[in-house]
Amino acid sequence: MPIMIPDALPAAGILTAEKVFVMTESRAVHQDIRPLKLLILNLMPKKIETETQFLRKLSNTPIQVIVDLLRIDDHVSKNTPKAHLDTFYQRFDDVRDQYYDGMIITGAPLGKVPFEEVKYWDTLVEIMKWSKEHVTCTMFNCWAVQAALNVFYDLPKQTRTVKLSGVYRHRRSTSSDPLIRGFDDFFLAPHSRFANFETKYIEENTDLEILADSDETGVYLAVSPDRSQVFVTGHPEYDAQTLDNEYRRDINAGLNPSIPVNYYPNNDPQNVPLCTWKSHAYLLFANWINYYVYQNTPYDLETKRKPA
Q: Is residue 134 annotated as a catalytic residue, yes or no?
A: no
Task: In whole angstroms, give the CA distance from residue 63 to residue 293.
Answer: 11
Q: Is 57 annotated as a binding residue?
A: no
Among candidate residues 191, 235, 246, 280, the one labeled active-site is: 235
Q: Is 249 annotated as a binding residue?
A: yes
**Residue 175: predicted pLDDT:** 87
Residue 308 has pLDDT above 60, yes or no: no
CA distances from 176 to 166, 172, 185, 219 (A): 28, 10, 12, 18
Question: What is the domain count for the chain?
Answer: 1
Q: Helices then strands (H, E): number in the chain?
A: 10, 12
Q: Could you tell me the residue range of the domain that residue 135 belongs to?
A: 3-299
Using an 8 Å Cβ cutoff, are 61 and 20 in contact?
no
- Is 275 part of any domain? yes
- Is 36 part of any domain? yes
If residue 159 lies in a helix (H) or strand (E), which one and from where to where? strand 159-172
Q: Is residue 84 annotated as a catalytic residue, yes or no?
A: no
Q: What is the pLDDT of residues 21-69, one digit of tens each?
A: 555 555 544 444 678 999 999 999 999 999 999 999 998 876 788 999 9
- Is 308 part of any domain? no
Position 244 confidence tier, pLDDT thresholds 50, 70, 90: very high
Q: What is the pLDDT of residues 104-137, one digit of tens each?
A: 999 999 999 999 999 999 999 999 999 999 999 9
Query: How, if at all, do strands 65-70 and 36-41 pair?
Result: parallel
Among candidate residues 49, 51, 237, 246, the one labeled active-site is: 237
Which CATH number goes with the domain that contains 77? 3.40.50.880
- Is 177 part of any domain? yes
- Is 306 part of any domain? no
Q: Is 77 annotated as a binding residue?
A: no
Q: Is residue 235 annotated as a catalytic residue, yes or no?
A: yes
- Is 305 part of any domain? no
Among candidate residues 142, 191, 246, 280, the one labeled active-site is: 142
Q: Of all residues in the chain, what percent carry a pLDDT higher than 90?
A: 77
